[in-house]
Structure 1
Amino acid sequence: MRRILGASAVFAMLAMGMAGGVANAAGETEGTEVAPLVSSTVLINEVSTRGVNGQLDEVVELRNVSSQPQDISGYTIRIYSSANIQTDTIVLPAGTVLQPKGTAGQYAVLVGPNFSGAIADQTYVIPFTLSGVDGIQTTGGLSLHNLAATKLDGVAFSNAVLTPREGQAAIPETATTDLLNASNTRNILSTDTDNNRQDFSLQLRSAGQ
Structure 2
Amino acid sequence: VKDAGHWRPAAAADEAGLRKRPGLQGPIDDIFMEPFLVAMPSGTSPNARFQRWVEFESQHFRERWASVLRGELREKKDSEVTADDLARYHVLAWGDATSNSLIARTLAKLPIGWDAQAIHVGAQDYASASHALAMIQPNPLSPGKYLVLNSGVTFRESDDRNNAMQNPKLPDWAVIDLDKAPDEHAAGGIAAAGFFDEAWKVK
Instruction: Normalising by structure 1, report the TM-score.
Output: 0.29
Higher helix residue share: 2
Query: Relative contact order, CA 8 A, sep 6+: which one is greater?
Result: 1
Of the two, which has the highest radius of gyration?
2
Instruction: Normalising by structure 2, report the TM-score.
Output: 0.30
